[in-house]
Structure 1
Amino acid sequence: MNFHYPNGKKFLPIKKETMRTNKEKKWTYSNRGMTLEEDINETNEYYLVNGIASIHKKPTPVQIVHVDYPKRSAAVIKEAYFKQASTTDYNGVYKGRYIDFEAKETQNQTSFPLKNFHDHQILHMETILEQKGICFVLLRFSATEDIYLLEAHHLLMFWKRMKDGGRKSITKDEIETFGHQIPLGYNPRIDYIKKIDYLYSLG
């Protein structure tokens, strides 16, 4: 099956060798073997079931252009296009406030590469802040499983520094200074709402 981005460029799936390596690394990093996305989805489910917040992963809009019907009871998608570039991963509502955030992880141990973000995502975050929404990124250092909440206005500061010719990453020291570490828990897994309560006096 062929997928294409909005600019027409073909989407290339992760090679099996890479997937195998990632699985091995997951086992090395944690016996859980959970990805950041899985942890956040599990957290959001906990929030929803317990009436705390309604936050969900955004669906990726896809336009199907070619479908085969090898059997009457089954359809196989052969070619499709991503309709538009994605913005951020998650959005929802908490105590009447709109929440919008992106989740990223890196294997680097001393810095977080800004190449993990894209111009359209940064522009989207700017519009959320202009509308007084709560916007941030969750960053995970995979090797140590350190997780930080970094508010969007701080990310924008580092993004501008890069655009002005500065370093192309955020040092871990800077993330520790401007961000807020979230300890990995059991239920919920990544309790970012507790940090939101603290930062926006919503508790």
Structure 2
Amino acid sequence: MNFHYPNGKRYEAKAQSSSTQKKEKKITYSNRGMTLEEDLNETNQFYLSNGIAVIHKKPTPLQIVKVDYPQRSAAVIKEAYFQQASTTDYNGVYKGKYIDFEAKETKNTTSFPLSNFHDHQIKHMESVMAQDGVSFVILRFSSSEEVFLLEALHLLTFWKRMDEGGRKSIRKEEIEEYGHRISLGFRPRIDYIKIIDYLYNLT
């Protein structure tokens, strides 16, 4: 089956040898190289299995363009396109609070580009805040493995600054000042719930 990204580029899945698969099973959380998405998915699974919170990654919407029907009772998707998500990556519930956040990482070392976000995501975060939901972004500087939680309120301020002709990125010093550093752990790997407890007095 052929998948395509929103820009039309074809998605190519990387084939893995049996030896590579065996090596992957030996990877532990002490190793570097896990993506932010993988870390967050493992964290959310830990929250779910331990009855702490119910938070999931939203599936990427697909536009199906070609379907074959080898049998009357079966359909096989032959070609599809990844559509651009209209909201944020993750949502769920924790202690009666609606949780909604986006996760991004950068190889930059001194700033976080605002080009990582989209206007529709900013508007979605504004809507969540208007309904008294908990909205934020988790940012990772991949070169240094530093992770921060930045409330949507502050992200919107930096976005507005850009719209008014200001810088197109958030300085790392600003993220350190207005955000909350999350120390990487074992289980959970990125314990952002601790920050939510602190910010909203939910302990």
Same fold (TM over 0.5): yes
Aligned to 1:138: 138
Name the CA distance, whole Å, in 2 between partners of 1:104 and 1:154.
15
Q: In structure 2, give the amino acid aligned to 1:38.
A: E
Name the CA distance, whole Å, in 2 between partners of 1:11 and 1:126.
31
Name the CA distance, whole Å, in 1 between partners of 2:109 and 2:165.
23
Aligned to 2:181: 181
Taking a change above 3 Å as real, the CA distance of residues 77 and 119 of structure 1, as seen in their structure-2 partners, is same
Structure 1 residue matching 2:59: 3-state secondary structure:
coil
Taking a change above 3 Å as real, the CA distance of residues 42 and 15 of structure 1, as seen in their structure-2 partners, is closer
CA deviation string 1:174-200 (max 9, x = no partner):
000000000000010000000000000
C-alpha contact (below 8 Å) 2:5/2:11 kept by paired residues: no
Alignment pair present for 1:3 and 2:4: yes
TM-score (norm 2): 0.84
TM-aligned CA deviation for residue 71 of structure 1: 10
5+ residue gaps, structure 1, are 17-29
Taking a change above 3 Å as real, the CA distance of residues 130 and 140 of structure 1, as seen in their structure-2 partners, is same
Name the CA distance, whole Å, in 1 between partners of 2:176 and 2:85.
30
5+ residue gaps, structure 2, are 15-29
Q: In structure 1, give the amino acid aligned to 2:8.
A: K
C-alpha contact (below 8 Å) 1:2/1:10 kept by paired residues: no
Taking a change above 3 Å as real, the CA distance of residues 163 and 12 of structure 1, as seen in their structure-2 partners, is farther
Taking a change above 3 Å as real, the CA distance of residues 141 and 84 of structure 1, as seen in their structure-2 partners, is closer
Aligned to 2:192: 192
C-alpha contact (below 8 Å) 2:147/2:181 kept by paired residues: yes
Aligned to 1:47: 47
Taking a change above 3 Å as real, the CA distance of residues 71 and 35 of structure 1, as seen in their structure-2 partners, is farther
Name the CA distance, whole Å, in 1 between partners of 2:171 and 2:140.
13
Name the CA distance, whole Å, in 2 between partners of 1:4 and 1:173.
34
Name the CA distance, whole Å, in 1 between partners of 2:151 and 2:47.
20
Name the CA distance, whole Å, in 2 between partners of 1:14 and 1:171.
34
TM-aligned CA deviation for residue 67 of structure 1: 2.7
Name the CA distance, whole Å, in 1 between partners of 2:92 and 2:48.
11
| RMSD between superposed Cα atoms in Å | 2.5
